[in-house]
Amino acid sequence: MTDRFHLLLIKPSRYDDDGYVVQWRRSVLPSNALSVLNALGEDCAERQVLGPEVEIRVEAYDDHTGLPPMAELIARLQAASAGALVGIVGAHSAQFPRGADIARRFHAAGIPAVIGGFHVSGAYSMLPEMPPELRQVIDEGISLFVGEGEGRLDAVIRDAHAGRMRPVYDYGGDLVDLSGAVIPRGLPATVENRMLVSVKPADPIEAGRGCPFKCSFCTVINVHGRQARTRDPEAIVRQIRSGVARGRDNFFFTDDNLVRNRRWREIFEGLIRLREEEGLAFNIMIQVDAQSDRDPDFIPMAVRAGCHQVFIGMESINSEALASVGKGHNDARRYRRLFLNWKRHGVVIMVGYILGFPGDTPESIRRDVETIKRELAVDLAYFYVLTPLPGSEDHVRMWRDGVELDPDLSHYTSYRSIAPHPTMSTQVLDGLYDEAWRSFYDDAHCERILTRHAVLGGSLDHLFPFLLVGRGAHPIDDAHPFEFGFVRVKSRRERRPDMPREPLMSFLARRVWETAEAQVRWIRLFRHMSPMVERARAAAAMPRPDDPALMVPAAPVETPAGKVGAALEVASPVSGVAASSGFAR
Output the pTM of the full model: 0.91
Residues of the chain above pLDDT 90, percent: 77
Query: What is the Cα–Cα distance from 64 to 255, expressed in whole angstroms?
Result: 21
Task: Report yes or no on 524 lying in a domain.
Answer: no
CB contact at 8 A, 86 and 77: yes
Closest CA to 443 of 371, 339, 355, 373: 373
Quickly state the pLDDT bin for 487 (edges 50, 70, 90).
very high
Residue 568 has pLDDT above 60, yes or no: no
Last residue of a domain, one of 124, 146, 170: 170
Query: For residue 426, what is the domain's CATH number?
Result: 3.80.30.20
Backbone angles phi, psi at 546, to 5 degrees: -80, 80
Reply yes or no on whether the pLDDT at 340 is more than 80.
Answer: yes
Q: Which domain holds residue 135?
A: 3-170
| Element housing 286 (H / E) | strand 283-288
Taking only the tens place, the pLDDT of each residue in 545-562 is: 678 888 876 544 333 344
Rounded alpha-carbon distances, angstroms, from residue 490 to 25, 487, 507: 10, 10, 10
pLDDT of residue 553: 60
Same domain, 249 and 150: no
User: What does the pLDDT read at residue 201?
Assistant: 60
What contacts 202, CB < 8 A, 6 or more positions away? 29, 30, 248, 250, 251, 252, 285
* Identity of the amino acid at 294: R
Per the model's pLDDT, the better-predicted residue between 401 and 199 turns out to be 401
Asked whether residue 277 falls in the same domain as residue 345, the answer is: yes
SS (H, E, C) 166-194: CCEEECCCCCCCCCCCCCCCCCCHHHHCC
Strands 348-355 and 307-315: parallel
- Separation of alpha carbons 344 and 581, rounded Å: 9
For residues 319-337, average pLDDT: 88
In this structure, the answer to whether residues 30 and 91 fall within a common structural domain is yes
CA gap 574, 576 in Å, rounded:
6
Tell me whether residue 43 is in a domain. yes
User: Does 357 map to a domain?
Assistant: yes
- Among 178-192, 316-330, 465-479, 493-507, whose mean pLDDT is lowest? 178-192
- Of 90-94, 99-103, 386-390, 580-584, the least confident: 580-584
CA dihedral 345, 346, 352, 357 (to 10 degrees): 70
Q: How far apart are CA 332 and CA 56, in angstroms?
A: 52
d(CA 125, CA 437): 35
CB 380 within 8 A of CB 452: no
* pLDDT at residue 585, as a whole number: 23
pLDDT score recorded for residue 221: 83
Out of 30-34, 174-178, 529-533, the most confident range is: 529-533
CB under 8 Å to 521, separation ≥6 — which residues? 472, 476
Asked if residue 415 has pLDDT above 80, the reply is yes
Residue that wins the pLDDT comparison between 29 and 510 = 510
Q: Are residues 159 and 282 in the same domain?
A: no
* 103 occurs within a structural domain: yes
Region of residue 246 (phi > 0: left; psi between -120 and 50: alpha; otherwise: beta): alpha
Q: What is the pLDDT of residues 145-180, one digit of tens each?
A: 999 999 999 999 999 999 999 999 999 988 999 988
For residues 59 and 229, the answer to whether their CB atoms sit within 8 Å is no
Task: Give the CA distances from residue 20 to residues 23, 485, 518, in Å, rounded to whole numbers and listed in that order.
Answer: 9, 15, 17
Cα–Cα distance list, 83 to 61, 241, 245 (Å)? 19, 36, 36
Domain end: 170, 191, 213, which one? 170
In eight-state DSSP terms, residue 216 is T
> Cα–Cα distance between 476 and 48 in angstroms, integer?
48
pLDDT > 70: what percent of the chain?
92
Task: Give me the helices (H) in 186-331, please.
Answer: 189-192, 220-223, 233-245, 264-276, 298-304, 319-324
**Spatial separation of the C-alpha atoms in residues 257 and 208, rounded to whole Å:** 9
Residues 129 and 228 in one domain: no
Going by C-beta distance under 8 Å and a sequence separation of 6 or more, which residues neighbour residue 560? none
pLDDT on residue 584: 26
Provide the pLDDT for residue 228: 83
Count helices and strands in the chain by DSSP H and E runs: 20, 18
Res 450 pLDDT > 90: yes
Cβ atoms 167, 135 nearer than 8 A: no
Residue 62, domain CATH: 3.40.50.2300
Q: Are residues 358 and 429 in the same domain?
A: yes
In a domain, 194, yes or no: no
Kindly tell me if the per-residue pLDDT of 198 is higher than 60: no
Q: What is the pLDDT of residue 186?
A: 74
Evaluate whether residue 482 is within a structural domain: no
Cα atoms in the 13 Å half-sphere on the side-chain side of 235 = 16
Report which DSSP code applies to 584: -
Average pLDDT rounded to a whole number, residues 495-509: 96
**Is there a single domain that holds both residue 110 and residue 243?**
no
Quick one: pLDDT band at residue 544, thresholds 50, 70, 90?
Answer: low
Looking at 186-259, list the stretches that DSSP marks H as alpha helix, in order from N- to C-terminal side: 189-192, 220-223, 233-245
Give the span between the Cα atoms of 428 and 417, in whole angstroms: 9
354-387: per-residue pLDDT in tens? 999 999 999 999 999 999 999 999 999 999 999 9
Arithmetic mean of pLDDT, 512-518: 97
- For the chain, what's the residue count? 585
What mean pLDDT do residues 12-34 have?
Answer: 92
Residue 13 has, within 13 A of its CA and on its CB side, a CA count of: 29
Gap between the Cα atoms of 95 and 123, Å rounded: 14
Give the C-alpha distances (Å, rounded to integers) separating 241 from 190, 302, 362.
22, 17, 49
- Residue 8 in domain: yes
Asked if 22 and 485 touch (Cβ cutoff 8 Å), the reply is: no
Q: 264 and 397 share a domain? A: yes
Question: Residue 192: its pLDDT value, please?
Answer: 72
- Three-state SS string over 441-472 comes to CCHHHHHHHHHHHHHCCCCHHHHHHHHHHHHH
Report phi then psi at 352, rounded to 5: -90, 135
Q: Report, as an integer, the average pLDDT of 449-476.
A: 95
274: nearest Cα among 304, 296, 252:
304
pLDDT value for 582: 26
State the pLDDT confidence band at 540, using cuts at 50, 70 and 90: confident
Say yes or no: 19 and 161 in one domain: yes
427 and 565 in a single domain? The answer is yes
- Categorize the per-residue pLDDT at 572 as very low, low, confident or very high, splitting at 50, 70 and 90: very low
Residue 563 gets which letter from DSSP?
Answer: B
Considering the domain architecture, whether residues 251 and 128 belong to the same structural domain is answered as no
* Tens digit of each residue's pLDDT (9 = 90 or more) over 95-129: 999 999 999 999 999 999 999 999 999 999 999 99
User: Do the Cβ atoms of 486 and 197 come closer than 8 Å?
Assistant: yes
End position of a domain, from candidates 154, 170, 186: 170
Cα 170 to chain centroid, rounded:
25
What average pLDDT is seen over the chain?
Answer: 90
Question: Where do the DSSP E strands lie in 437-534?
Answer: 485-489
Distance between CA 580 and CA 188 in Å, rounded? Answer: 35
Same domain, residue pair 267 and 162? no
Three-state secondary-structure class, residue 568: coil
- Per the structure, the count of domains in the chain is 2
* Residue 566 domain flag: yes
